[in-house]
Structure 1
Amino acid sequence: MSNILYLAHEGGWGLNFNIFETNLINLGILVGLLLYFGPKFISKALDERRARIEGEIKEAEGRASDAAASLADAQQKLARAQAEAENIRKAAEETAKAAKDKVLAQGKAEIERLKSGAARDTQTEQDRAIAELRDRVTALALERVEARLQEVLDDSAQSQLIDRSIAQFGN
């Protein structure tokens, strides 16, 4: 007999330790078991594997579509942020230009005000200096006339001048 387990001559079961005989039998049993149970087992294992792979593919596709949606959303947000940044930059440039123009206009107005103030101050100072010179010239002229009159007029000439003035007023 060529089985691993064989019926012993003395009425029992025993083991066959002949490697060559038992390997062929074992191989035959293994092939038989594989042919009988294998298609079901392999089919079931492959179906499970296919189902798992299909699930993973669907899950990956879902994640990919979610990532694509997130990317599109992020790109829209980026575009809006860039547009907002551009609007802010333009507004800042306009504000800076307006502020610059305002400061220049205020500076020009201040310069004109200072010029007119300086011209008024200069004219006032000139008028004051002229008046002061007139007063000084008048005072000097009067002093000279008085000094000259005192030199030229003696007491008798003064009496005659007074009498003549009174006579002219009397007429």
Structure 2
Amino acid sequence: MKNVTDSFVSLGHWPSAGSFGFNTDILATNLINLSVVLGVLVFFGKGVLSDLLDNRKQRILNTIRNSEELRGGAIEQLEKARTRLRKVEMEADQFRVNGYSEIERERLNFINSTSKTLKQLENYKNETINFEQQRAINQVRQLVFQQALQGALGTLSSCLNNELHLRTIRANIGMLGAITD
């Protein structure tokens, strides 16, 4: 500390103009140099530093303000998107419910239509079977009738002789004559 005080004391006493010397005390000279530089900086740089800090402060405040505005806009857009999402989800649920009910209705319509078609096919099948049975019965009747007729004709041909034949014809003519009168 004594060196510092000595350096200030020696500042007050400048050597005469004819002599020139160096102060070899590094701590004392650095301290003096630093105090001079700081003094000059404070005196001349105070306004510049203050302006720089004010500009920096304004930029930071503007950035914060812009960030807040962007945040507010983002929150607003997020709320709009959430509202839209809820609306779309409700519509999707409605479509899903309507789709399920439509599918169920179509399924019931299909079942009813298929049931009706099956009943019609069953009726057509039964009608076809009845028709084919009638046709088969008629064919069998015709065959039986033809065979019976052929058998009767064969029996008549073998049993009838001319005299019996003439007598049958006269009896039939007599019956016809009685009917017409």
Report the CA distance between 1:52 and its aligned residue: 2.5
1:136 aligns with 2:139: no
Partner of 1:117: 124
Q: Counterpart of 1:67?
A: 74
C-alpha root-mean-square deviation of aligned residues, in Å? 2.8
Deviation for aligned residue 1:22 = 3.2
**Percent identical:** 25
* More off after superposition, 17-26 vs 104-113: 17-26
Query: How far apart, in 2, do the equivalents of 1:15 and 1:78 lie?
Result: 86
Q: Give the equivalent residue in structure 1 for 2:87.
A: 80
Q: Give the direction of change, closer, same or farther, for the CA distance of 1:78–1:115 in structure 2 (3 Å limit).
A: same
Unpaired runs of 5+ residues, structure 1, are none
| 2:73 matches 1:89 | no
Q: Which residue in the other structure is 2:6 paired with?
A: none
Per-residue deviation, 1:85: 1.8
1:30 aligned onto 2:37 = yes
RCO comparison, higher one (Cα < 8 Å, 6+): 2
1:48 aligns to 2:55 (yes or no): yes
CA distance in 2, matches of 1:7, 1:147: 185
Gaps of 5+ in 2: 1-9
- Per-residue CA distance 1:83-109 (angstroms, 9 max, x = gap): 222222223222222221222122111
TM-score after normalising by structure 2: 0.76
Over residues 26-53 of structure 1, what are the superposed CA-to-partner deviations in whole Å (9 max), with x where a residue is unaligned? 2332343355456545544443333222
**TM-score between the two structures when normalised by the length of structure 1:** 0.79
* In structure 2, distance between residues paired with 1:24 and 1:35: 16
CA shift digits 1:133-158 (9 cap, x unpaired): 22222112211111111222111111
Structure 2: how far apart are the matches of 1:63 and 1:168? 126
Residues 32, 162 of structure 1: alpha-carbon distance in 2 compared, 3 angstrom cutoff: closer
Aligned length: 167
